Amino acid sequence: MNTFKKLKEFYWPYKRFFFISLFFLLFVTGITVIYPIVLQLTIDEVILGGKYDLIPYLAIGFIAIMGVKGISTFFHQYLGDMFGIQSVYSLRDALYKKLQRLSFRYYDNARTGDLMSRLTADVEGFRFFLSFGFAELIRIFLLIAFTLGVMFYYSVPLTLVTMAAMPFLAVVVYQFDKRVHPAFRGVRKSFGRLNTKVQENISGINTVKSLSREDFEIGRFLEKNEDYRQNYLQTASIWSKFFPLMEFIGNICVVALLAYGGHLVINGDLHTGELVAFFSLVWYIMWPLMNLGFVINLFSQSKASGERLLEILEAEEDIEEAPGAISKERLEGHVTFKHVSLTYTQDDDAALKDITFDAPPGKIIGLIGSTGSGKTTITQLITRFYEPDEGEILIDGVNVKDYSLKTLRKNIGFVLQEPFLFSTTIKENIRYGNPEASMEEVIDAAKRAQAHDFIMEMPDGYDTMLGERGMGLSGGQKQRISIARAILINPSILILDNATSAVDMETEFKIQKALKEVMTGRTTFIIAHRISSLKHADEILVLEDGKIVERGVHEDLLKNNGPYQRIYDIQYQDKDVIMEKQRG
């Protein structure tokens, strides 16, 4: 029950629904045990005793009991569902909030499909046990207790003989629980892997089709599907082995009842109606005990689901706000790195090594280097997507750890290398970071990002609905909308991570021209592979293997005959050859 204790905060606030549901369950269970008593009275008093005048009273009483049971059943089930639904509402809310707080480091190792499986299938599995399983477990014990009470009232010796095999049934149920829980945890894990495979395939369907790898992907899916099937078959095998054994022990109890009960009736120690009632009552114990296996099955599934949900809830939040974090509406944007180093994982090489630079307000800093040299990592440290292992990062002379995350990130406009657009209108995508922006401000931001013209050519202009991840737009169009979104929040610090990598040279020129006005008075970091995108920067940092190997302005770096000069030669050598031929 340790899993349920850890998740108690989510269901305990709604305990009133559960306990009121149990109150009505008492009526339902108690009335259920009355049925055999009515049957016993009908046989002994009416049929064998000849008291036919009791028939109307028994009929009216039975109908009244059925009515009470029906009403009690409704409230029991409705309130039980309310308990489960309200609980998982809070749980799902907490899970989603936790996912929003977790850093990039967590998502580096997480899989989207598996997370989706946890927030859907695992949450639903946990809810079903809260709504049904808990109450069913209590109903089983209540029904057994009430039934044993009536059975002991009829005949203590017959009850003891009938129940003699019950301890063996309890042992079987216990062994079933020990084996079925690990099996269901395997089922949940394999389902998460299957879900991940489907998600990855759908997300990468363009790549799959363009390389004609459909058959390969089908094969990989079949592997995951087969793993899921084998895990489920293992669980079914456990169930199929234990359930017949439970039923066999139950039938032994029935045989003992009929043999010894018949003996008591023949000797006059038990009435015929009491034996018939006893036969009905024993199944009120047998079926719940055998159903206990099903409830344990549910419990094992929900426990496995709960464990997977706790893995999210208990995940370490390595990016936290300091007590009394500074909240400011506007930062100046003076960024300073002092001997900053970072390693993503313990066994990897350092992503950044002793990075030091100063970026006063209004300055443009260019970052260039080969893939994996640490350009994007530097900007992700400014926004505290990651924490440095050594050194410190200051904004306006204050360590970024001392700012509230909202203050920090509201003052940073981040245009990612791979822009993400939501399945909503273009207008809502642009003002995602500033929901209160007016339509005039949205249009102005779009014009600065050279996006207004193509937006107006769309069917509904700014009200055009976009498909998933901006489906229907070109890469360049998506990047320009992303730039407009960053401009609209009016940031003190602007970060452009290959923001013009998906546009043609003419559009890049237009965007750079428009951005010159936007960058005025802001500290701007431009990450680019093309020198043309950052040669106007106030300082260019050239990175290799996580270290700054050169720094300076474009003209000075060309004189150094270093890494920057080599990058320039690679990008412009063909152009120089063509110009030389034209001169010749």
Query: Angle formed by the axes of helices 439-448 and 505-519, to 10°?
Result: 120
pLDDT of 203: 66
Given CA atoms 452, 458, 462, 466 in this order, what sign does their dihedral have?
negative
* Average pLDDT of span 190-207: 73
Of 133, 169, 114, 146, nearest in space to 27 by CA: 146
Q: Residue 20: pLDDT above 90?
A: yes
Question: Among 121-125, 388-392, 402-406, whose mean pLDDT is lowest?
Answer: 121-125
* Average pLDDT of span 9-34: 90
Q: Residue 394: pLDDT above 90?
A: yes
Count of Cβ atoms closer than 10 Å to residue 548 Cβ = 21
Domain(s) labelled CATH 1.20.1560.10 in the chain stretch across 11-313
pLDDT of 584: 45
pLDDT tens digits for 116-126? 878 888 888 88
> Locate tokens 């045989």: which residue?
255
| Token pair belonging to 163 | 């129940």
Instruction: Look up the CATH superfamily of 11-313.
Output: ABC transporter type 1, transmembrane domain (1.20.1560.10)
pLDDT tens digits for 120-143? 888 888 888 888 888 888 888 888
Query: Helices (H) and strands (E) in the chain — how many of each?
Result: 22, 10
- Laid out side by side, the sheet with 390-395 consists of 352-359, 335-342, 390-395, 398-399
H-helix or E-strand containing 219?
helix 214-266
Strand partners, 251: none
Question: Among 49-53, 91-95, 401-405, whose mean pLDDT is lowest?
Answer: 49-53
pLDDT of 23: 92
Domain(s) labelled CATH 3.40.50.300 in the chain stretch across 326-361+368-410+529-584
Beta strands in 380-485 (DSSP E): 390-395, 398-399, 412-415
CATH classification of 326-361+368-410+529-584, choosing from 3.20.20.60, 3.20.20.70, 3.40.50.300, 3.20.20.140? 3.40.50.300
What is residue 541's three-state secondary structure? strand
Record the pTM: 0.72
220's torsion region: left (phi>0), alpha (psi -120 to 50) or beta? alpha
* Average pLDDT of span 387-396: 92
Distance CA 10, CA 423 (A): 31
pLDDT of 504: 67
pLDDT of 519: 77
pLDDT tens digits for 232-288? 888 888 878 877 887 787 778 778 877 888 888 888 888 888 888 888 888 888 778
Question: Among 136-150, 316-330, 502-516, whose mean pLDDT is lowest?
Answer: 502-516
Q: How far is CA 248 from the centre of its chain?
A: 43
Distance CA 579, CA 584 (A): 9
Distance CA 72, CA 21 (A): 9
Q: Residue 575: pLDDT above 60?
A: no
pLDDT tens digits for 444-500? 988 888 889 889 988 889 998 887 666 678 777 888 888 888 888 888 999 888 766
